[in-house]
Structure 1
Amino acid sequence: MEHIVIIGNGIAGVTAARHIRKLSDKKITLISAETDYFFSRTALMYVYMGHMRWEDIKPYEDYFWEKNRLELRRGYVKSIVPKETTLLFDDGSHMTYDQLIIASGSTTNTFGWEGLELEGVQGLVTKEDLEALEKNAPNKKVCPHAVIVGGGLIGVELAEMLRTRDIEVTMLVREKAFWTSVLPHVEGALLSQHIQSHGVKIIHETNLDRILGDSNGRVRGVVVKESQEEITCNLVGITTGVKPNISFLEGSGIETDKGILVNRKLETNVPNIYAIGDCAQQRDPIGNRAAVEAVWYTGRMMGEVVAQTICGKETAYNPGHWFNSAKFFDIEFQTYGWVQPSSKRKDYETQFHWKHQDHTKFITLAYDKNEGTFLGINTFGIRMKHEVFDRWLTEDRSIDYVMDHLKEANFDPEFYAHYEHEIRSAFKNKTVTA
C-alpha cells in the first residue's frame, strides 16, 4: 500500500491528510514534534486569556484520527534522504515513504540580537511558546513589565494577552505608525492610538539594540538602539515576524530560498516531495501575493490542492483574490483585494479613507484613478461579507458601483449598524470623517 507521510500537523498538513483520506485508501502518517494532536494555532491566545481550555482548541476529538485511519507519529525529523525515500529522526529511528508532504510551518524570525538565549525571551508561535509564557508571565507579581519587539498581528495578540493579566507592556515599533509595512499610514496611526488606549505604551521609530540579562541568565531589560536608553522588563516578546521552518532540510537536495521552492502544483524539485503552508515558497509569486504566505486559509487551500494531485487529479494552486482578517484588541479587521501601504502603492492607485467620530470604525477603499476600477477595501470595526467583495473584484466593478451598492456587503443588517450612507456621502463630498 502506498505510504503518504506528512511532516507537520498544522492546518496545511491536517487538511492534506483529511482530503487524501476522502479520496483514497492510502496509508497516511502525520509527524509532529510539537503535539500529539492537531490544534487551532490562532486560538492559543485565548487559552492564556482564560477564554478557552487547551482541549477546546482541538478541532477534532482524539478518536477522530484512528477512526479515519490517520496514523500519528510524535517525533522530530532531523533530516531527509530523498534517494532512499527515508526520514531520519533525532532519536535514531527512521521511516520510509512513497510520497512526502512537508508542512513544517514557521518559526519566530530573529535577527541575531545579543541576549536571545536568556530566560524570559520568547516568541508566540508554538504550544511550547504558550507554555513558556505561562511560566515567564503568570501574573503581574512575577512579571510587572514586558517589552514586545515588533508590531504586526502577533505583537498585538501578545500585548492583549499580557494586558488581561494587568502586566505593563511597552512595544518597540520601527515604523512611524502601527503595521504600516502592510497598512496605509492613516490606518496605522489610528491603530496606534487604539492600542495605546488599552494601556500599551508604543515607542515608534525604534529598534532593539540588545537584550540584557542578570547573573542568573534571566532577562532584566533591553537597550533601545537609537537612544541607548535602557528599559527594565521581565519578559521580551520577539514578534518581528515568522520564517519558514526548514533548517532540517540542509543537505537534502531539496531546493530552498526563504522557504521550500515549489511550482503551482506545490511540487519541489525532487520527485514525490511536496511543500505546503507556511514553509512553501512559490517560485513565481501569484499576482501581488508574497512568495511565502504564512496565512491560515492559504495553508488550508494548499492542503486541498496537494491532496488532489497525490490522488491522481493534478491541480494547480489558485488562491483567488487576497483576503484576510484579524483583531486589534476589540477592533475587527478585514481586507479584500489590495489596499497598498504608501511604500508599495502603484502610480494608478488612489485611496479613500473614512473614519467614524469615535475612531473605532474606519475603512479605506482603493481604486484605479484612471479606470475607476475597485481594487480593494480595508475595514476596521465594521464587519462585511467576503462573498460580496470577492464577486465585485471578479467582476471588475467600478468604485462608484461599490459605493452605490455598499449596503449589500453589510454582514448582517439586522444586528450590525449601518454606516453605508455616511461612507457614500463622504466619498461623494471627498471628505474623510463621518
Structure 2
Amino acid sequence: MEEHIVIIGNGISGVTTARHIRKLSDKKITIISAETDHFFSRTALMYIYMGHMKYDMTKPYEDYFWKKNRIDLKRAFVETVDHANKQLQFADGSTMAYDKLVLAVGSKPNKFGWPGQDLEGVQGMYSKQDLDALEKNAPDNKACNRAVIVGGGLIGIEMAEMLRSRNIPVTFLVREDSFWNGVLPAGESGMINRHIKNHHIDLRLGTNLKEILSDENGRARAVVIQETGEELPCNVVGLTAGVSPNVDFLRDSGIELGRGIKVNRKLETNIPDIYAIGDCAEQHEGIGMRRPIEAVWYTGRMMGETLAQTICGNPLEYKPGHWFNSAKFLDIEYQTYGWVFGRPQEYEQQFHWIHEDDTKCITVSTHKDSGKFLGINTFGIRMRHEVFDKWLTEERSTDYVIEHLKEANFDPEFYKYFEQNIITAYQNQLQTT
C-alpha cells in the first residue's frame, strides 16, 4: 500500500512540498486547508481589493492541475492531531489516517488583549477571509468614513495602501518613534515616514492603542489613544501588529512547541514522521543570525523543496543561504541582501546615500576592521539578487561592491542610473573618516 503524505496548509510551503514529492515519487498526497479550495498567492490579496486583479488570477495553477498531478485536496478544519494512532480529527467529527504529516499551518494576526478587539469591523489582513471581511467592512468611503490601522509593519502599510485606493481616510498608529525602525536604519525609516505622510495617511508615531469602542450594534465606532486619551471615530480597525504561528490546536498534541512548532535542521519535530515548515516552524538549533521563525515567502518555498527530498528518502538539512527579502512601501520597492541592522552593531559601519527626490536610497553595511561587505538595503532602485548573493559568498569588500554596483542593477533600459552619484558619495565619506 502506498505511503500517505498528509499536508495541513495550502500556502507556498505546503504546496511546494506536495509538488516536489510528486516529482520524486508516486506517494499518495493530500493537502488540507480550511481557508480556500485552492492555493493562491497570499502576497497578491491586496491587489484584488485595489481592483488590479481578480481572485482567479492569484492562483498560480489551473484548478485541473491538482487532479492531473494526483494531489488530493480537502477543505476542512483540523481540530486534533493524534500522533499515537497517526490520525487527524476534523471539526465535523470525521478522521483521516496518515503515514507522514507535514504541518504548514502558517500564521495568524497578533492580538494583545485590547478591549474591543473582537468587535465587528476589527480585523487583520492575512487570509482570504480577511480580504472578504475588508470588502464587507470597507467597500467605499461612504460605508467607511475612517479606518485606523494598529501596527507599523509590512502588512500595516499594505492595508493602508489598500484603503487609500478607495479614498478611505486612514490613521496609522505606530508605537515606535519611526516606522519599522527595529529593522530599517534611521535614514531609511525617516524617508518612509515622509513617504507615508505624502500619501495623505495620518501617521501617528510613538502612539499606542488603548481600547476600541463599540456602537449599540457591536461594531467598532472609535479607538482611544493610550498616550492622550483621544477618541478617534472610525468604522474599521486593522490589527497589523505582526503575526504568530497558528499552533493553538496543537497545544495538547505532544508536539513540542515554543512560539512555533520546534524543528531541527531537517525540519523534523520531536514526534517521528511529523514535520513543520513555513511560518509556523521554529528552528531550535539556530541558523547563523537568522531568527528562529521566519514568516517569509521564499523561505517557506525552500523548506518545502528540502522536506520533499527528506520524505522521499534523500534526507537533507534546510540551508537557506544568505538572507534576502523584498517588499513595497506604497510605490517604493525595497530589497535587502545580507545583514543591515536598524541599529548598527559594534563591528558594523554603515554608508547611507539618499537621492534628492527623497524616494531612493541605499544603505551598505561594512565590517569595520576587515572592510568586508556585510549587506545592502536598496529603496527605489532594483538590484539583482544573484549578484549580491555571489559577492556575499565570495566575501567581497565594500570597496569592490561599490565600484561594481552597476553590475547588480536590474532597472529597465530607460530608467535613470545613480551608481556614479553613489560612488562619489561613498568616496567623500571615506575621505572624511
Amino acid at match of 1:393: L
- Give the Å deviation of 1:413: 6.0
Q: Does 1:356 align with 2:355?
A: yes
C-alpha separation in 2, matches of 1:181 and 1:217:
35
For 1:210 and 1:191, the matched residues in 2 are separated by 27
Which residue does the alignment assign to 2:366? 367
Secondary structure of 1:430 counterpart = helix
1:36, 1:375 → 2: CA distance? 43
2:375 counterpart of 1:383: no
Residues 31-50 of structure 1 aligned to structure 2 (within 5 Å)? 31-50=32-51
C-alpha deviations, 1:81-139, integer Å up to 9, x for none? 00000000010000000000000000001111110110000000000000000000000
Q: Is the 8 A contact 2:104 2:278 kept in 1?
A: yes
Structure 1 position 250, deviation (Å):
1.6
Residue deviations 1:33-90 (CA, integer Å, cap 9, x gap): 0000000000000000000001000010000000000000110000100000000001
1:104-183 equivalent positions in 2, closer than 5 A = 104-183=105-184
Does residue 237 in structure 1 map to residue 238 in structure 2? Answer: yes
**Shift of residue 221 of structure 1?**
0.7
The Cα shift of 1:285 comes to 2.2
d(CA) in 1 for partners of 2:285 and 2:206?
33
CA contact (8 A) 1:410 1:416 kept: no
For structure 2, the 5+ residue unaligned runs are none
Q: Which amino acid aligns with 2:421?
A: E
CA distance in 2, matches of 1:191, 1:142: 29
TM superposition shift of 1:152: 1.1
CA distance in 2, matches of 1:119, 1:77: 25
Deviation at 1:412, TM superposition (A): 4.0
Retained in 1: the 8 A contact 2:282–2:293? yes
Aligned CA-pair RMSD: 1.0
Deviation at 1:276, TM superposition (A): 0.3
| SS of corresponding position for 1:257 | coil
Q: What SS class does the counterpart of residue 83 from structure 1 fall into?
A: coil
What percentage of residue pairs aligned between the two structures are identical? 64
Greater CA deviation, 129-138 or 410-419?
A: 410-419
CA–CA separation in structure 2 for the residues paired with 1:169 and 1:346: 35
The answer to whether the 8 Å contact 1:337/1:393 transfers is yes
- CA gap of 1:413–1:158, structure 2 versus 1, over 3 A, is closer
Q: How does 1:225-264 map to 2 (within 5 A)?
A: 225-264=226-265
> Given residue 32 of structure 1, which amino acid in structure 2 is its aligned partner?
S
Distance 1:284 1:229 in 2: 46
Q: Which amino acid aligns with 2:162?
A: M
Q: Which amino acid aligns with 1:271?
A: P
Q: Which residue of 1 is the match for residue 410 of structure 2?
A: 411
CA distance in 2, matches of 1:137, 1:350: 45
Contact 1:7 1:104 in 2 (8 A): yes
1:414 deviates by: 2.1
Any unmatched runs of 5+ in structure 1?
A: none
Hey, what's the Cα distance between the residues in 1 that align with 2:398 and 2:407? 14
In structure 2, how many angstroms separate the alpha carbons of the residues matched to 1:398 and 1:323? 18
1:22-37 equivalent positions in 2, closer than 5 A: 22-37=23-38
Separation of aligned partners in 2, 1:54 and 1:401: 45
Distance 1:275 1:376 in 2: 29
CA contact (8 A) 2:381 2:411 kept: no
What is the Cα deviation at residue 327 of structure 1?
Answer: 0.5
Residue 219 of structure 2 is matched in structure 1 by 218
Report the TM-score, using the length of structure 1 for normalisation: 0.98
Secondary structure of the 1:427 match is helix
Kindly indicate whether the alpha-carbon contact (under 8 Å) linking 1:277 and 1:299 is maintained by their aligned counterparts in 2.
yes
Equivalents in 2 of 1:180, 1:83: separation in Å?
A: 46
Three-state SS of the structure 2 residue aligned to 1:61 is coil
- Cα distance between partner residues in 2 of 1:417 and 1:82: 58
Amino acid aligned to 1:129: D
| Cα shift at 1:373 | 0.5
- Distance in 2 (alpha carbons) for counterparts of 1:412 and 1:6: 39
Q: Is the 8 A contact 1:338 1:366 kept in 2?
A: yes
Q: Which residue of 1 aligns with 2:81?
A: 80
- Quote the Cα distance in structure 1 between the aligned partners of 2:266 and 2:384: 30
Task: Select between 291-300 and 412-421 the one with higher mean Cα deviation.
Answer: 412-421
Structure 2 CA distance for aligned equivalents of residues 336 and 285 of structure 1: 19
What TM-score do you get using the length of structure 2 for normalisation? 0.98
**Hey, what's the Cα distance between the residues in 1 that align with 2:241 and 2:115?**
15
2:63 counterpart residue number: 62
The separation in 2 between residues aligned to 1:259 and 1:186, in whole angstroms, is: 33
How many pairs were matched up?
Answer: 430
Separation in structure 2 between the aligned mates of residue 14 and residue 75 of structure 1, nearest angstrom:
16
CA contact (8 A) 1:383 1:410 kept: yes
Contact preservation (8 Å) 1:385, 1:411: yes
Q: CA deviation at 1:305?
A: 0.5
Q: Secondary structure at the match of 1:84?
A: coil
